[in-house]
């Protein structure tokens, strides 16, 4: 997987883009654009109710990334209907949808409740599958067995918030689980043939740039299908905001130009078989205490990263030591 065919500009993932892109991955499965539709099904989080911890992760404010149509008082079907309408106004192309259980921990409920919620989403016309966001400590064999059964009929992915490969960081941000817990959840999920994703944050306090770069090698060894990355943003009303305002020198937030250079170097070291869904995150400005990177939209950021890959004639996995 580490060799590119420079003559035809075809990379191990089978297209000409210089990274293993999520949108192309879905086109290769469905032959067309697939749109994710977010749902807030009213789940909670064990890191808030005392099961794993209290207070939640120090950076967390779910409102900062929940689309406006996602309100748990609305049924799953209604949220899907409104989500499809919302996306139709922006893109006309998508005809297939994935129900994205995004807010809080979407396996944190008894199995009979999960079955009811997931089945309601899967029975909505045009929904081809589920993306289930959750924590590494919110999954067990019974739930995995059920999800495995679903994955034989639909596109199903379980996405774990891992955030960092270092336990000192996970402890500092009050994640309430260790990196070993995350590895175990990823391995058990992928071991059943379920698409497994993970989410990581760059710029968390106490981590050096070198440690962040070294995560490429650690993540590359996990049996992940997809990954999402984003830069740390300080969100209003969080415990981290207080920490940041009290002691800003404790934080080394990425400026855009530094992040661009860092991310290219990271991508060069990342296993080319892992599909990359996001490079950055964007909380709405009204939630942000840290500074924005100008007014760049996600698609512009992707273009800038691809342009830089081209200028440097490099690509995902060029320095991967698999």
The residues in 155-194 that bind ligand SF4, with binding defined as CB under 6 A, are 161
Q: How far is the CB of 36 from ligand SF4 (least distance, A)?
A: 18
CA distance 109 to 316: 38
Choose between 48 and 143: whose C-beta lies nearer to ligand SF4: 48
Q: How far is the CB of 85 from ligand SF4 (least distance, A)?
A: 27
Choose between 49 and 141: whose C-beta lies nearer to ligand SF4: 49
Choose between 41 and 260: whose C-beta lies nearer to ligand SF4: 41
CA distance 229 to 140: 25
Q: How far is the CB of 181 from ligand SF4 (least distance, A)?
A: 12
252 and 290 Cβ atoms separated by less than 8 Å: no
Q: Sheet containing 127-134: give its strands across.
A: 34-39, 96-101, 127-134, 155-163, 195-202, 226-231, 275-278
201 and 233 Cβ atoms separated by less than 8 Å: no
The residues in 29-58 that bind ligand SF4, with binding defined as CB under 6 A, are 45, 47-48, 56-57
Q: How far is the CB of 52 from ligand SF4 (least distance, A)?
A: 8
Choose between 137 and 277: whose C-beta lies nearer to ligand SF4: 137
Among 21, 34, 39, 60, binds ligand SF4 (CB under 6 A): 60
The residues in 208-227 that bind ligand SF4, with binding defined as CB under 6 A, are none
Choose between 174 and 316: whose C-beta lies nearer to ligand SF4: 174
Choose between 60 and 222: whose C-beta lies nearer to ligand SF4: 60
CA distance 105 to 115: 15
Q: How far is the CB of 187 from ligand SF4 (least distance, A)?
A: 20
Choose between 38 and 105: whose C-beta lies nearer to ligand SF4: 105
Choose between 135 and 228: whose C-beta lies nearer to ligand SF4: 135
The residues in 99-128 that bind ligand SF4, with binding defined as CB under 6 A, are 104-105
Q: How far is the CB of 232 from ligand SF4 (least distance, A)?
A: 13
Q: How far is the CB of 69 from ligand SF4 (least distance, A)?
A: 19
The verdict on 197 binding ligand SF4 (CB under 6 A) reads no
| CA nearest neighbour of 105 among 67, 142, 57 | 57
The residues in 125-154 that bind ligand SF4, with binding defined as CB under 6 A, are 135
Q: How many positions of this chain bind ligand SF4 (CB under 6 A)?
A: 11
CA distance 11 to 18: 7
Q: How far is the CB of 48 from ligand SF4 (least distance, A)?
A: 6
The strand pair at 96-101 and 34-39 is best described as parallel
What is the binding site for ligand SF4 (CB under 6 A)? 45, 47-48, 56-57, 60, 62, 104-105, 135, 161
């Amino acid at each position: 997987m580490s060799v590119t065919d420079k003559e035809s500009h075809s990379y191990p993932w089978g297209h000409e883009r210089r990274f293993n892109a999520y949108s192309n991955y879905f086109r290769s499965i469905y032959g067309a654009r697939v749109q994710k539709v977010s749902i807030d099904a009213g789940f909670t989080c064990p890191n808030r109710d005392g099961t794993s911890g209290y207070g939640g992760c120090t950076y967390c404010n779910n409102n900062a990334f929940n689309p406006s149509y996602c309100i748990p008082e609305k049924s799953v079907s209604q949220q899907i209907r409104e989500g499809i309408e919302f996306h139709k106004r922006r893109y006309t192309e998508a005809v297939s949808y994935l129900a994205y259980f995004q807010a809080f921990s979407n396996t944190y409920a008894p199995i009979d409740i999960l079955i009811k919620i997931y089945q309601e989403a899967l029975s909505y016309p045009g929904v081809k599958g589920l993306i289930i966001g959750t924590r590494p400590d919110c999954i067990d064999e019974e739930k995995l067995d059920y999800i495995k059964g679903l994955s034989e009929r639909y596109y199903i992915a379980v996405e774990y918030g891992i955030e960092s490969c270092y336990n000192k960081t996970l402890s500092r941000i009050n994640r309430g689980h260790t990196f070993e817990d995350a590895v175990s959840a990823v391995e058990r999920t992928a071991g059943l043939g379920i698409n497994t994703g993970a989410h990581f944050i760059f710029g968390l306090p106490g981590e050096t740039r070198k440690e962040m770069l070294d995560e490429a090698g650690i993540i590359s060894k996990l049996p992940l299908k997809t990954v999402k990355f984003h830069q740390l943003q300080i969100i209003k009303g969080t415990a981290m905001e207080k920490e940041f305002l009290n002691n800003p020198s404790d934080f080394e937030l990425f400026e855009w130009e530094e992040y661009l250079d860092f991310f290219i170097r990271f991508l060069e070291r990342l296993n080319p078989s892992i599909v990359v869904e996001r490079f950055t995150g964007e909380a709405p400005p009204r939630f942000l205490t840290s500074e924005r990177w100008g007014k760049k939209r996600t698609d512009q950021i992707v273009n800038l990263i691809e342009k830089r890959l081209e200028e440097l004639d490099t690509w995902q996995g060029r320095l991967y030591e698999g």
